[in-house]
Chain A
């Protein structure tokens, strides 16, 4: 799985590459994907084979790690519908594949899930799970838990109705589907549902916290990360922004968008929920990674989940109950002054609420939040969380909303720019027990790549200019860097190859929402282009060009 383990720590116990020898790291081999869109996936290593999923057209490459230069074994082409390119909000990305029981599972942009035989590259099954004519697409990496492939939809900018679906890993048949909005029977809320906060209890809140039938097109996709605790036997995942962005047309808390769920993986039943941003005003999807840790909190070890949330707060929740234990800012915030731990709600700044026909300036963090999809890593050695994120603010105006199925449903004009300091990216090493940043690295562009940390106390990440960097996990000191061909927005991975050596690999290939200006060839004269992200990235076309390439590094 892309997140290394069910707890999503992205920690590798390999220790050949250390802070002392990492400066000798060199390129072992590379592989061109032939695709020019944003490469957000994590290469997946199973045995002696590496599997790489490309952005649309979602090719799956199998590379033979047992032979010099890792030659291509086979390619699988799912041939996604061309028109699906028209319903993907933010470039045509794919975040990777998962492995279970001899099969590679991943999702295609046109809302299908495929299972491919990991040896032969032959398709085992292909299931249509969504409909592009309703604005649904899929970009997330699935997670396989107890033989079920967990898959969620994208399309919060297209008026979709979000869901998480479990498919039987052997047959591809639908086991259960849990909607984000709607009546309790659709959200799979039953007698076992015990949310911690009073506001989340009540009948059919997924209907009553919306005006009329707005919940049917209210967004709340599930395009981010899923974690699993085998002891509690619960899966955890977040739900995306409500639609449209203009909040005036959807008064109410808009449950259960911009929230998270704990569910039983066998049945999908909801156990508890927590809403990060009730009645979200800023496209603050609640889909970021949930890192499951056992941490000493006030003198006792508790089972928690740590969440660097889009709204700017680093949350620590009790993962058995859903109680918020702490929530501290890890970036610059003007939209709220804190999280009320009694109610669990953010304390909003009314002046920063966007309205129809009124431009509100200085909204921080911007729509992609303090951190977007790009996953953090956690080292049990340093006890720090390595958080790749951005430093962006925006101006925003609500506009007229028109729902037309299969077309965007956003109703807002946005213009983003750098936050205080002028740098647009940061990498923060966060101590979740002391609840503070230990060190920070500033980057010119958003740090849109994931991070990975090793037992050699080295943190790897990439920049949108194309630098792949190694840092000392304790101090943040840069130890090594390599310039790849294009900007890096992928997830670096660490593995041991059949030759016994430790490798670190990453996909280079700029794009994603942040890199859409390059990947889509956009015109920088329009500040609102790509949902306003182009305004903050006008200099990216000078800094990098597109092109997907996999790089693998090792010690000599």
Chain B
């Protein structure tokens, strides 16, 4: 694209115009950076050659540093808002309610059983978890799972305040995600429901 364009530009108007155009394109590109769009769908973490999603601090041998947290929509207000709608539409709210839990564990508190990183939450939704979390893998397109991941993390204040939702369409039953203080993630041993004798 760019090469062809340059050739045409050279032929017609010469170097000055080209420089101006390139500057305009560059500034336009940098302005777009905040809200990156991906139109091809976003693959799950494991299939992108990224480091493994770990559930524990303990590694045999010298520890390999974790890759930086991966997950689109973490800084995208639109995506988080979509995630909130999907959270109700896919009946996540039927078990976790608006973050306080019920059938499933709370999502607005500091406790994370299977990890708080976006890729951990992604795996929880797609793989399911043994003590009652259904496996949504293949039932929701990955792009929407990532929106759900972003919203779920906003429930305990893990996203920036200007990204987290500031209002609900329904009866207010909890402090808005935007005004929820960040709950520093704590690893929880096992789901409270799975405490077996």
Q: Which residues of A contact B (CB under 8 A)?
A: 33-37, 54, 56-57, 59, 82-89, 92, 157, 357, 359, 395, 397, 399-400, 402, 404, 406-410, 413, 415, 516, 519-531, 534-535
Contacts and interface: CB of A to CB of B under 8 A. Distances in A.
Given A85-B132, A400-B89, A408-B103, A528 B94 contact: no
A152 to B, nearest CB: 20
A415 B197 CA distance: 33
Given A85-B193, A86-B134, A528-B100, A402 B91 contact: yes
Interface residues of B, number: 36
Contact of A406 (B102, B109, B134): B134
B106 A526 contact: yes
B101 A522 contact: yes
Contacts of A36: 192, 195
Contact of A526 (B91, B97, B103, B197): B97
A54 B133 CA distance: 22
Contact of A413 (B89, B133, B171, B175): B171
Q: Is the interface of B mostly helix, strand, loop or mixed?
A: loop
Given A57-B196, A82-B132, A519-B192, 6 more contacts: A37-B193, A407-B134, A413-B171, A529-B102, A530-B100, A534-B100
Contacts of A400: 88-89
Interface in B91-114: 91, 94-95, 97-106, 108-109, 111
B131 interface: yes
12 contacts: A35-B195, A57-B196, A82-B194, A83-B130, A85-B193, A86-B131, A86-B132, A86-B134, A92-B193, A407-B134, A526-B97, A526-B99
A35 B171 contact: no
A530 B174 CA distance: 13
Q: Nearest 4 CB-CB pairs, A to B? A: A408-B94, A526-B100, A86-B132, A529-B100
Nearest to A244: B94
B133 to A, nearest CB: 6
A462 to B, nearest CB: 22
B173 interface: yes
A530 B102 CA distance: 4
B105 A407 contact: no
B78 interface: no
Contact of A529 (B97, B134, B192, B193): B97
Contacts of A85: 103, 131-132, 193-194
B170 interface: yes
Given A85-B194, A415-B173, A516 B90 contact: no
A205 B108 CA distance: 44
A92 B132 CA distance: 11
Q: Which of A59, A157, A522, A524 has the most CB of B within 10 A?
A: A522
Given A35-B197, A85-B131, A402-B90, A528 B173 contact: yes
A86, A410, A523: residue with the most chain B Cβ atoms closer than 10 Å: A523
Nearest to B101: A522
A59 B108 CA distance: 32
A397 B131 contact: no
A258 B193 CA distance: 29
B92 to A, nearest CB: 8
Given A36-B195, A86-B95, A528-B174, A522 B131 contact: no
Given A529-B97, A529-B98, A399 B88 contact: yes
Nearest to B139: A404
B97 A530 contact: yes
B100 A84 contact: no
Interface in B126-156: 128, 130-134
Nearest to A92: B193
Contacts of A413: 170-171, 173
A513 to B, nearest CB: 9
Contact of B102 (A35, A87, A357, A520): A520
B171 A86 contact: no
Contact of B171 (A92, A395, A520, A524): A395
Given A33-B197, A34-B197, A397 B171 contact: yes
Contact of B97 (A84, A92, A528): A528
B196 A520 contact: no
Contacts of A87: 103, 132
Nearest to B135: A83
Contacts of A89: 103
Contacts of B128: 83
B23 to A, nearest CB: 48
Contacts of A404: 90-91
Given A82-B130, A528-B174, A88 B103 contact: yes
Interface string B53-76: 000000000000000000000000
Contact of B132 (A57, A83, A535): A83
Given A59-B197, A415-B173, A520-B192, A82 B131 contact: yes
A313 B99 CA distance: 35
A368 to B, nearest CB: 14
A407 B101 contact: no
Interface in B31-66: none
Interface in B161-178: 170-171, 173-175
Contact of A520 (B89, B134, B193): B193
A33 B101 CA distance: 25
Contact of B175 (A59, A525, A535): A525
A84 B132 contact: yes
Contacts of A522: 100-102, 106
A525 B95 contact: no
- Of the listed residues A89, A359, A525, the one surrounded by the most CB atoms of chain B closer than 10 A to its CB is A525
A413 B134 CA distance: 22
A516 B173 CA distance: 17
B197 to A, nearest CB: 3
Contacts of A33: 197
A523 B109 contact: yes
Contacts of A534: 100, 102
B154 to A, nearest CB: 14
Select the residue from B91, B102, B132 with max chain A CB neighbours within 10 A.
B102
A367 to B, nearest CB: 13
Contacts of B197: 33-35, 54, 57, 59
